[in-house]
Amino acid sequence: MSLAALLLVLAPGALAQYTVTQEPSQVAANEGEPIQLNCSYTGTEYSVHWYRQPQGGQPRILALLSSSGRDTRENFTMSLDTKTKSSFLYLNSSRLADSAVYLCALEHSARGAQAARHKTLGGGRAHGPERGDKEKLE
């Protein structure tokens, strides 16, 4: 097993009466170790989305959760609990290639005749070591 490390950095986001908070704000792990990212929100959700954005790349959706439960894709398990207004992203076994920006977004609907859907985003930047760099993280 490689000793290369993985570092994830997250930050909160907000819009009006809806807020999305991701914790912890930073995660570092050795390859093969599990990682858990927590996302909590306020307001009434329509659905919770998890995105992954590699450095220099476009965001890619990992999951869209619209009711309590779990979804597993690739090396990730995402869960949603609508009663506690929380969602979790589990990285079962971290790899250097998993260094990325991870975003939790809350999709909610405006009420009234001109109803519209909006997303409130929480997230931040993630840094990982360069290939072969096993000692220092930025």
What does the pLDDT read at residue 77? 94
Query: For residue 94, is pLDDT > 80?
Result: yes
Angle among Cα 130, 54, 24 to the nearest 5 degrees reads 90
CA–CA gap between residue 30 and residue 53 (Å, rounded):
20
| Mean predicted confidence (pLDDT) in 23-36 | 87
Mean pLDDT computed over 47-75: 89
Residue-range domains of the chain with CATH: 5-127 (2.60.40.10)
**More confident position, 78 or 16:** 78
pLDDT at 19: 85
Structure tokens given for 134: 């096993």
Closest CA to 20 of 34, 39, 48: 39
Of 85 and 112, more confident: 85
Phi, psi (degrees; rounded to nearest 5) at 48 = -115, 135
Name the pTM for this structure. Answer: 0.67
For residue 15, report the phi and psi dihedrals to the nearest 5 degrees: -155, 120
Give the span between the Cα atoms of 83 and 133, in whole angstroms: 43
Q: How confident is the model at residue 122 (pLDDT cuts 50, 70, 90)?
A: low
Q: What is residue 28's predicted lDDT score, i.e. its pLDDT? A: 83
Residue 105, pLDDT > 70, answer: yes
Stretch 99-124: mean pLDDT: 62
Identify which has the larger pLDDT, 106 or 117.
106
